[in-house]
Structures are given as C-alpha cells and as structure tokens.
Amino acid sequence: MSRGSLAVVEEWLAAVNRSDGQRVIELPADDVEIIGPRGTARSRCVLTD
C-alpha cells in the first residue's frame, strides 16, 4: 500500500522538528524536488549537503 503525499510531508516535518536526520533522509523519494529561497534542487542527496 502506498502512502499519500500529505502523510509523507507530515512525517518528514515531524522528523525535522525532532532533529531526526536519518529519518529526514529516508522518507523522500529518490527524485524529490526541494524548492526554497536558494532555488530548486532534485535528488535525495540534496538533503545531506
């Protein structure tokens, strides 16, 4: 069973708030797109930089 996008986002934010770096990296798909004030990046490896 696949999880909904909102559930993943909520769990990801909860992991960020409790400083659970390992879970922050595990949750997103490999091709996650991160959009922020510095621009856009695609890939899970962006989260570890």
pLDDT recorded at residue 37: 93
1-26 tens-digit pLDDT: 456 888 988 999 999 999 999 999 99
pLDDT recorded at residue 45: 86
**With helix as H, strand as E and coil as C, how does the chain read?**
CCCCHHHHHHHHHHHHHCCCHHHHHHCCCCCCEEEECCEEEECHHHHHC
C-alpha closest to that of 47 among 4, 3, 16: 16
pTM > 0.75: yes or no: no
26-44 tens-digit pLDDT: 998 888 898 989 899 999 8
